[in-house]
Structure 1
Amino acid sequence: MPITNYSVLAGDPVSGKVVTGSSTHYQITMNAPGGPFTVAVNIQSVDGSEVLYAIEEGFTPPDVAGLLALPMGMTALESVPGGLALDYVRSQVSGRQMITREQMTLLPQVPAKNFKGNEQERMLAQARSSALQNAVVTLLNMTIADKDGVIYAFGSSYADKGQIDGIHDIHMNQGNPVNNHGSDNGVWQDGALLIHLPSKGTWTAIFIAFQTESWTTDSNGNPA
């Protein structure tokens, strides 16, 4: 079964913070009609599913006009080609794949505090594991500084009764092993962050996937 409530949230970011727990995320607060909203971005590897990420500056979204025409706030998307839905395997930009596995960088797990190996190696792994968080923070601050800056967050929307609504699953949502998040598999439902800075005329994309996910998938998003 694919992820629920595939959507895109367009909004004005105002702050961010690290939220720890079973899975560490960087939580962005965004203002938009119907909000405020929270955007939960995976920034650490857990359970052996090492995070892969790519920061693409000078990016061109598959449908720039469609994005700019979106109202601010949460918009439900159909998981079909030809619209705003994203698919890491199938989306094309100017006749080329939107993002490839080869463009992704591995974000290693940080060894536990009782790590018996070389302390220098542990510190290096910790520094490398912070790379994605640092990039998200830098881009968030740039977007906040741009009075017309907008973040477009693609993923699964949710509603917290009595709390703040938001969006998560901001990563590749296909190619999972059947016995490991296989129920989330689907096509045209991948997550990402697209950051538009009108003052600079630039787009930057943040793509996140997991090393356990296959980039060769069938029409149901399952490993082929």
Structure 2
Amino acid sequence: MPHHGHHHGGHRDHKSRDSERRSGNSNDSGNNSTHSLKNYSIWVANPVSFVAQTPQQDPKSPHITLKLTDGTNSPEADINVKSTSQDSRLVYWTNNAFVHPITQQLESLPLGQKILTPSNGQPSPLALDFLRTSPALLDLSAGTILPATGNDTIESTLSTILNTAINQKAKVYLWGQAYNDSNGESGIHDIHMNQGNTGDFTDDVFSDGSFVVQFEDHWEAVFLAFADQEVPTDDETGDPTADAKAFDQTLSSSSSSS
């Protein structure tokens, strides 16, 4: 199955962690200065299949490409396997018995994309923030850092939940930056924490990416970040605060032999 790894630099005035993968984003016309991830969305769909790129296939930015159907479109979700930063490792949190009030709101959503626009200065009730959503979505201190290669990678961790979701025809809810490319492809990427970045990556609050799976009798959640992202972050901008520390300083790495 061909993978569309041929996208040029984004035409955006900001740089998300995945912006180099997408071009001709037709939804990107308006300038919304208060929300730098302009198409921050949730996409509700059923997973169909996935292809996992290895770092050998795409040394710069390998992804798991998850094919979806929402009854109308056949979007794709691009899930990072490796960071483009000098530290290429990811941090992950999985919860295979996810219980949170947000699931009640999710259940009533129709299939398809919903842009999570803030209103009256308040984030959308469905917007996620790893640091600010209350009650907390995850225990930040319980994350595990995984290398991009070796026996124990994010790819092997995610393959299990994705295969189960496909086999059981489960429903997936994906948060991130939606795109509608000029070549007709649509989908969602930046499915990871979108704050606490250093360098020229965009930060924002209540714009974190994630995905949760609704099985018949339980929910499972996956949260991803990059090892060089820093917390805590500023409540207005999402930029690292003066005393912020990177995950690679505060979390233990998975002992993976490569």
Given the two structures, how large is their TM-score scaled by the length of structure 2?
0.72
Q: Structure 1: 5+ residue runs without aligned partners?
A: 111-125
Distance across 1 between alignment mates of 2:222 and 2:97: 12
Q: In the aligned structure 2, how far is the partner of 1:142 from the partner of 1:109?
A: 22
Q: Flag the structure with more relative contact order, 1 or 2, with Cα contacts below 8 A and sequence separation at least 6.
A: 1
Q: Which runs of 5+ in 2 are unaligned?
A: 1-13, 15-35, 242-258
> How far did 1:54 drift?
1.0
Residue equivalent to 2:168: 146
For 1:207, give the aligned amino acid.
Answer: F
Query: Does residue 43 of the first structure (1) align with residue 43 of the second (2)?
Result: no
Matched with 1:117 is none
Q: Is the 8 A contact 1:45 1:107 kept in 2?
A: no
Contact 1:151–1:196 under 8 Å retained in 2: yes
1:120 aligns with: none
The alpha carbon displacement at 1:81 in A equals 4.2
Which residue pairs with 2:231 in the alignment?
215
The match for 2:214 is 196
**Which stretches of structure 1, 4 residues or longer, exceed 6 Å deviation after superposition?**
none
TM (norm. structure 1) is: 0.82
Cα separation, partners in 2 of 1:160 and 1:144, compared to 1, 3 Å: same
Do 2:116 and 2:124's aligned partners in 1 also have CA atoms closer than 8 Å? Answer: no
Indicate whether 1:170 and 2:191 are aligned.
yes
Q: Which residue is equivalent to 1:118?
A: none
Contact 1:89 1:100 (C-alpha < 8 Å) held by counterparts: no
For residues 1-224 of structure 1, what are the structure 2 equivalents within 5 Å? 2-19=36-53, 20-21=57-58, 22-49=60-87, 50-79=89-118, 80-81=122-123, 83-93=125-135, 97-110=136-149, 126-128=150-152, 130=153, 132-147=154-169, 149-177=170-198, 179-181=199-201, 184-198=202-216, 201-218=217-234, 219-224=236-241
Bigger drift between 100-109 and 162-171 goes to: 100-109
Aligned length: 198
Determine the C-alpha separation between the residues in 2 that align with 1:57 and 1:87.
19
Could you tell me how far apart the structure 2 residues matched to 1:202 and 1:109 are? 29
Identity of aligned residues (%): 30
Quote how far apart the aligned CAs of 1:83 are: 0.3
Q: Equivalents in 2 of 1:107, 1:202: separation in Å?
A: 26
